[in-house]
Chains A and B, each alone.
Chain A
Amino acid sequence: MPERTPSQTVGPYLHIGLTPGRYGVREIFGPVVADAAMPGTHIRIEGRLVDGDGNVVPDALIEIWQADSQGRYAHPADGRPVASNSFRGFGRAPTDDDGAFFFETVKPGAVVSPNGVMQAPHINVGIFARGLLKRLFTRIYFPGEPANASDPILSLVPADRRDTLIAKPDAKNPSLLRFDIKLQGDGETVFFDA
């Protein structure tokens, strides 16, 4: 049996290959995951990536993977048709000079879990950067969501760290959510191993 190829960092020049629009290359992924016609509650997620010193991380890539508003993934292991043929559930955004990123999408529905308990609505997040030798994996949950209390994955997270996984509502704009990611130290975001 062949053995796995190890992970290596994306390095600081990841944009050439992974978000190549600024180099005149057509992009097949971007931060807009759902177009205006997509059924569901449209949301914008904004965040900032910071390191253990609190410094912004300007050379990172955030990827998200999510279900549609009915909790269906555009993938054969799910198998159910999703709400729109144009919806693929995948988004990719580089951080900017301020470590900031955003996505425009729809709020996903609840997703089935291995023991039949429904998982609260969530978005899966992968983080790549210079200085990260392998991807980090976390989830965005939604504020004020009653299903969070019984979510089987959140239940595995120590109670005092769960808030790092729950997006913050905006005081004025109900469709805007904030999800900051702290790589290390006080308030460190919870990262998963699956």
Chain B
Amino acid sequence: MGGEAGAGQGPVGLSRGPRKANPVVERPVTARDDQEADAMEDAYSRTGNAVDPPHLFPDYKGTARRAPSRPLIMIPQTLSEITGPVYGHSDVGPEEADLTKQHAGEPQGERIIVKGRLLDERGRPVPNSLVEIWQCNAAGRYIHKVDQHPAPLDPNFTGAGRCVTDENGTYQFTTIKPGAYPWRNHANAWRPAHIHFSLLGPSFLTRLVTQMYFPGDPLFPFDPIFNSVPDPKARERMIAKFDLDTTKPEWALGFVYDIVLRGSNATPTED
């Protein structure tokens, strides 16, 4: 796998041969810079970046004083960006993917299985890649000290899990369905039930943190974080699908949630 990635990604944008020099500009970033950057044989696609929310989204009050006010500086993708942390199966134990077995007893709530594939924009699986999740308990309470929602903590639930994708990019967790919970963004604000997902992917540029939602949640129209994603179809990609084949009889409901990371422009190489 290492050799394959090296062969596929290494040469892109890295050759020392004759090539046009970087544009050196000392001025605010403009749309033209975007074109120049695109012309520099990016190792990773930039077009999909439009699915992400803006930095400033006034309905989500927390963005007001934290979003940058200056335009981002467009830069070429160098070795620093097309490389990234490598963690794999030796770092994580198989038991870490089951959030219902981390304590003496079983947590309260509806046991569920969440599985899916980690893919890139070209549909290629992302194997051997770390997936980290965290969530509140069935009552909508996080174990976190900052969470003061007057719902019960569960002594048998921490709400943290992780695993590494297999050779097909597949991951799977067993957990309990998280509850909705109130927050103080606006009057009578409630977050739809969600599980936080953190993905590394193969490079610094593929790093992604997102949230997985559950189908049919009545809170979607009122949640500014969910609705910060401008394209309704992109919002739907954050919603897991109920799956009867994943559901285990007399044990747990199954949900499928595929995650698509930024894709490398490199042509896939055969193993």
**Is B55's CB within 8 Å of the partner chain A?**
yes
Q: Are A156 and B262 in contact (CB under 8 A)?
A: no
B residues within 8 A CB of A16?
A: 134-135, 142-144, 158-160
Q: Which of B1-60 contact A (CB under 8 A)?
A: 1-6, 9-10, 13-14, 16-17, 19-29, 40-41, 44, 48-49, 51-55, 57, 60
B residues within 8 A CB of A17?
A: 132-134, 159-162, 196, 198
Given A23-B143, A75-B84: A194 and B52 interface contact (C-beta under 8 Å): no
B residues within 8 A CB of A18?
A: 132, 134, 198
Q: Are B6 and A79 in contact (CB under 8 A)?
A: yes
Task: Tell me the smallest distance from the CB of B37 to a CB of chain A, in Å.
Answer: 8
Number of A-B contacts (CB under 8 A): 295
Q: Are A8 and B13 in contact (CB under 8 A)?
A: no
Task: Tell me the smallest distance from the CB of B34 to a CB of chain A, in Å.
Answer: 9
Q: Are A185 and B69 in contact (CB under 8 A)?
A: yes
Q: A108 to B22, alpha carbons, bound, how many Å?
A: 23
Task: Tell me the smallest distance from the CB of B87 to a CB of chain A, in Å.
Answer: 7
Q: Are A77 and B10 in contact (CB under 8 A)?
A: yes
**Is A1's CB within 8 Å of the partner chain B?**
yes
Given A25-B160, A28-B87, A130-B62: A8 and B79 interface contact (C-beta under 8 Å): no
A residues within 8 A CB of B65?
A: 51-53, 55, 131, 183-184
A residues within 8 A CB of B144?
A: 12-13, 15-16
Kindly identify which residue among B80, B83, B146 contacts A119, using a CB–CB cutoff of 8 Å. B80
**Is B260's CB within 8 Å of the partner chain A?**
yes
**Is B156's CB within 8 Å of the partner chain A?**
no
Given A52-B65, A75-B83, A77-B82: A4 and B132 interface contact (C-beta under 8 Å): no
Report how many residues on chain B are interfacial, defined by Cβ distance under 8 Å.
105
A residues within 8 A CB of B84?
A: 65, 75, 90
Q: Which of A1-51 contact B (CB under 8 A)?
A: 1-18, 20, 23-25, 28, 51
**Is B256's CB within 8 Å of the partner chain A?**
no
Q: A193 to B54, alpha carbons, bound, how many Å?
A: 13
A residues within 8 A CB of B69?
A: 52, 184-185, 188
Given A10-B209, A153-B78: A133 and B225 interface contact (C-beta under 8 Å): yes
Task: Tell me the smallest distance from the CB of A123 to a CB of chain B, in Å.
Answer: 9
**Is A106's CB within 8 Å of the partner chain B?**
no
Central interface residue in B44, B73, B82, B210, by most chain A CB within 10 Å? B73
Considering the complex, give the chain A residue whose CB is closest to the CB of B62.
A131
Given A6-B53, A132-B66, A152-B22: A73 and B80 interface contact (C-beta under 8 Å): yes
Q: Which of B173-224 contact A (CB under 8 A)?
A: 196, 198, 203-205, 207-211
**Is A136's CB within 8 Å of the partner chain B?**
yes
A residues within 8 A CB of B155?
A: none
B residues within 8 A CB of A51?
A: 65-66
Q: Which of B223-251 contact A (CB under 8 A)?
A: 225-226, 228-229, 233-235, 237-238
17 contacts between A and B (CB under 8 A): A6-B237, A12-B146, A16-B158, A28-B91, A51-B66, A75-B83, A75-B85, A76-B10, A114-B14, A114-B22, A115-B20, A130-B62, A152-B76, A153-B78, A156-B22, A184-B68, A191-B72
